[in-house]
Amino acid sequence: MVRARAVCDAVRVGRLYLVATPIGNFEDITLRALRVLREAPLIAAEDTREARKLLAHFGITGRRLTSYNEHNAAAKTRTLLEALDAGDVALVSDAGMPGISDPGHDLVRAAVEAGHAVVPVPGASAVLSAVAASGLPSRRFHYLGFLPRTRGPRRRALREAAAGGDTLVIFESPHRVRATLEDVRDALGDPRIAVCRELTKLHEEIWRGRAGEALARFTAPRGEFTIVIDGSPAPPGRDAEGGAAPVESSIAALRDGGASAKDAVAALMREHGLSRRDAYAAWLRATKRRRGAEARRAAGDRRNASR
pLDDT at 156 over 90: yes
Q: What is the pTM assigned to this prediction?
A: 0.72
CATH of 127-229, one of 3.40.640.10, 3.30.950.10, 1.10.167.10, 2.40.40.20: 3.30.950.10
Determine the straight-line distance between the first and last CA of the chain, rounded to whole angstroms.
98
Report how far residue 246's alpha carbon sits from residue 167's, in angstroms, rounded to the nearest whole number.
Answer: 21
Stretch (H or E) spanning 212: helix 211-217
Residues in contact with 293: Cβ distance below 8 Å, sequence separation at least 6, in sequence order: none
For domain 15-124, give the CATH number: 3.40.1010.10
pLDDT at 178 over 60: yes
Give 266's pLDDT tier (boundaries 50, 70, 90).
confident
Interval 36-67: pLDDT, tens: 999 999 999 999 999 999 999 999 998 899 99
Task: Determine how β-strand 167-172 pairs with β-strand 225-229.
Answer: antiparallel
The answer to which of 3-17, 120-134, 152-166 has the lowest mean pLDDT is 3-17
Distances (CA, A) of 117 to 10, 15, 108, 241: 10, 5, 9, 51
Give 268's pLDDT tier (boundaries 50, 70, 90).
confident
pLDDT at 217 over 70: yes
